[in-house]
Amino acid sequence: MLEFASSGILGLFGKASSIFTTQGIGSIKRSTLPETISHLTNSLDGE
């Protein structure tokens, strides 16, 4: 699961120039992506 989620996040960063525009940022903020990344990060146990 972690590998799947991290590859999706890396894919998002790969498209950064087209996603991180004013409209793209607004869309990301309205999505569940920030919460998903937060849950994923908080679930890591340091291993």
The model's confidence at residue 47, banded by pLDDT at 50, 70 and 90, is low
Which residue range is the domain that position 39 belongs to? 3-45
Residue 14 has what DSSP assignment? H
pLDDT tens figures, 7-30: 777 777 777 777 778 887 788 788
Instruction: Supply the pLDDT for residue 22.
Output: 84
| Structure tokens that stand for 38 in this block | 């937060």
Q: 44 and 38 in contact (C-beta within 8 Å)?
A: no
Structural domains in the chain (count): 1
Q: In sequence order, which residues have a C-beta less than 8 Å from that of residue 33 and are 6 or more positions away?
A: 12
pLDDT exceeds cutoff 70 at 37 = yes
pLDDT at position 35 over 70: yes
